[in-house]
Amino acid sequence: MRALVFCYLLGIGSLLNGCREKNNDEEEPEKVKSKTEVAMRKEMSKANMPRGTERVDTLPRFTRQTVPESRRSREVMERVGRRLVKEMGERELTFGDPIFVRVFKMERELEIWVKRNGGRGEYVIFRMYKIKGMSGELGPKEWEGDRQAVEGFYYVTARQMNPNSKYHLSFDLGYPNVYDRTHGRTGSALMVHGKTGSIGCFAMGDDGIEEIYTLAAAALAKGQRFFRVHCFAFRMTEENMTRYGKGKWAAFWRNLKEGYDWFEKRGVEPNVRVMKGQYVFD
């Protein structure tokens, strides 16, 4: 009886501390490919593709950086990637080009921006997704178990991608960042993931995370060292700041607005640092 009570309490505790999951869930071993299949894949044309790229049918496959994979993520990349290649081409965008992500909690929206011309052009918004699940209220996450979703400036590297997520697919936002640690904030496992339920994370639904994950994985594999994720309480227009930007978090939100305005005015994401307990941008 005591063991059952302990297990129950342990399960409740894990829910309060973000979306816990293993990064290396076991999968069934893949079937060994035949020598003929291996040879055919080696012979597939690589003409007119950038260095570090392989072409399988119409889907570019990039090899400049290793991104964690699973059987699930490969199936998603093949299925969703082919559609995204076509849709991006119609917008004069290229699959695998650098991405930038913005999240707005009040509006429950996540934006994906893509940089044209292999990262040499301007950012263009490609897609806006509705956040299907999110807990807490406006204001940053402060401590583990407060059920709050993050606000601030984060970045995601290849090792933060989780193709074995129990929430279908996910990536870790990297909370707490330097700013969060400077202010004594605690917590972990804050993610963007699939499904529709969330405590402290941004749940995008399986269809949403499949596109988001595919765009992110392709950009990383093609050579983007990391992609930035900027999380705001709301769209930080002057009107919204006047209406909502008061109270306990007013100074914090004014600091975040500096980063918001940087991108709005320049069309490029700022380099973000922390000095004397404040975000600074250049």
**Which CATH number is 94's domain given?**
2.40.440.10
pLDDT tier for residue 20 given thresholds of 50, 70 and 90: low
Residue 145 belongs to some domain of the structure: yes
In the three-class reduction of DSSP (H, G, I as helix; E, B as strand; rest coil), residue 114 is classed as strand
Residue 215 belongs to some domain of the structure: yes
Catalytic, 19? Answer no
Burial class (CB in 10 A: 0-12, 13-18, 19+), 2: exposed
Number of domains composing the chain: 1
* The residue type at 228: R
- What's the domain range around 221? 48-236
Residue 244 belongs to some domain of the structure: no
pLDDT value, residue 275: 98
Distances (CA, A) of 203 to 107, 192, 222: 14, 6, 26
Give CA angle at 190 (188, 194), nearest 5°.
Answer: 145
Measure the CA–CA gap between 41 and 196, rounded to whole angstroms.
38
Looking at 19, 201, 230, 231, which residue is catalytic? Answer: 201
Residue 198 belongs to some domain of the structure: yes
Looking at 19, 193, 230, 231, which residue is catalytic? Answer: 193
Q: Is the pLDDT of residue 40 over 90?
A: no
Q: Is the pLDDT of residue 2 over 80?
A: no
- 75's CB contacts (< 8 A; 6+ apart) are none
Residue 65 belongs to some domain of the structure: yes
Catalytic, 231? Answer no
Q: Is the pLDDT of residue 101 over 70?
A: yes
Q: In the chain, what is the greatest distance between 2 CA atoms, to the nearest angstrom?
A: 67
Q: Is the pLDDT of residue 201 over 50?
A: yes
Residue 166 belongs to some domain of the structure: yes
Residue 60 belongs to some domain of the structure: yes
Residue 35 belongs to some domain of the structure: no
* The residue type at 93: L
Q: Indicate the average pLDDT of the chain.
A: 86
Q: Is the pLDDT of residue 68 over 70?
A: yes
Spatial strand order in the sheet of 161-162: 161-162, 170-172, 191-193, 202-203
